[in-house]
Amino acid sequence: MKVLGIDIGGTGIKGAPVETRTGKLVAERCRIPTPQPATPDAVAGVVQQIIDHFGWTRRVGITFPGVIVDGEIRTAANVDRSWVGLEGAAVFGKEAHLLNDADAAGIAETTFGAGKGHDGVILMLTFGTGIGSALFTGGKLVPNTEFGHLEIRGKEAERRASEIVREHKNLSWSDWSERVQEYLTHMERLLSPNLIIIGGGASKKSDKFLPHLKTRAPIVPATLLNEAGIVGAALAATEPISP
């Protein structure tokens, strides 16, 4: 089955049709810069451009950097506040299936990537503009975990240790790793995962910081990198449409 997956990120909106049995993109990815401000109308316009680019008329899976419950957007920490309370189908059309961006990346990694074949508790963390999280047990997702908002030293973890904080504060890899380490130690105390997968923008440079980190569970970089959101969105959209 082929499904169009679209990944809404802070800097780019990316989409491609995906063969959901293999997780492979079946056409070259289309990427359009995220409009600023990223208002619902502006983003919906770009999503429509991507849908038109592929001449798509069927199901579309779309990631969003916030909590999504039954198609409704509940939070928007790093995008325009006007998203909160909107229904995905009202913004993107009735063929659209919306889910959290980290959940989508986690679905892709546990199905085709670094977590494939793992039955235990898997914690996927994405380090980008924010910190996204996805938690799995026995291959099943607990959606909308939002562990990036956990407080560390009186501050939300993603305000201390996201990839964007590293860039903006010009932190060395070892200084940034210390912040990530503190966060991971806390997460391990709370969840005792069997495997930790690191994704998001930072995962492309995992050789720079993974060697600095010490965790009880094995910690591995995501393997689908840029494509995880697209693939996960497409996989999630194959689920039956709820009434």
User: Any contact of residue 100 with ligand BGC (CB under 6 A)?
Assistant: yes
What are phi and psi for residue 50, nearest 5 degrees? -70, -40
Residue 145 sits in the site that holds ligand BGC (CB under 6 A): no
Please say which residue, 109 or 158, places its beta carbon nearer to ligand BGC. Answer: 158
Among positions 160-199, residues that touch ligand BGC (CB under 6 A) are: none
Binding test (CB under 6 A) with ligand BGC, winner from 5, 17, 66, 115 = 66
Q: Is 201 in the site for ligand BGC (CB under 6 A)?
A: no
Does residue 75 touch ligand BGC according to CB under 6 A?
yes
Four-CA torsion 150, 181, 184, 159, nearest 10 degrees: 20
Q: Which of 77, 121, 150, 213 binds ligand BGC (CB under 6 A)?
A: 77
**The one among 20, 110, 126, 177 contacting ligand BGC by CB under 6 A:** 126
Q: Which residue is at the shortest CB distance from ligand BGC?
A: 130
Q: Is 158 in the site for ligand BGC (CB under 6 A)?
A: yes
Identified binder of ligand BGC from the candidate list 15, 65, 88, 115, rule CB under 6 A: 65
Residue 216 CB, nearest approach to ligand BGC (Å)? 24
Report yes or no: 150 and 164 within 8 Å, Cβ to Cβ.
no
CB of 79 to ligand BGC, least distance (A): 9
Q: Does 106 bind ligand BGC (CB under 6 A)?
A: no
Residue 203 near ligand BGC by CB under 6 A:
no
Distance CA 77, CA 234 (A): 24
Binding span for ligand BGC by CB under 6 A among 48-56, 122-130, 173-181, 188-196: 122-130
Going from the C-alpha of 205 to that of each of 25, 159, 163, 202, the distances in angstroms are 23, 20, 11, 6
Give the separation between CA 88 and CA 96, rounded to whole angstroms. Answer: 7
Q: Point out which span in 38-46, 100-108, 111-119, 168-176 binds ligand BGC (CB under 6 A).
A: 100-108
Nearer to ligand BGC, 115 or 201 (CB): 201
List contacts with ligand BGC (CB under 6 A): 65-67, 75, 77-78, 100-102, 126, 128-130, 132, 146, 148, 158
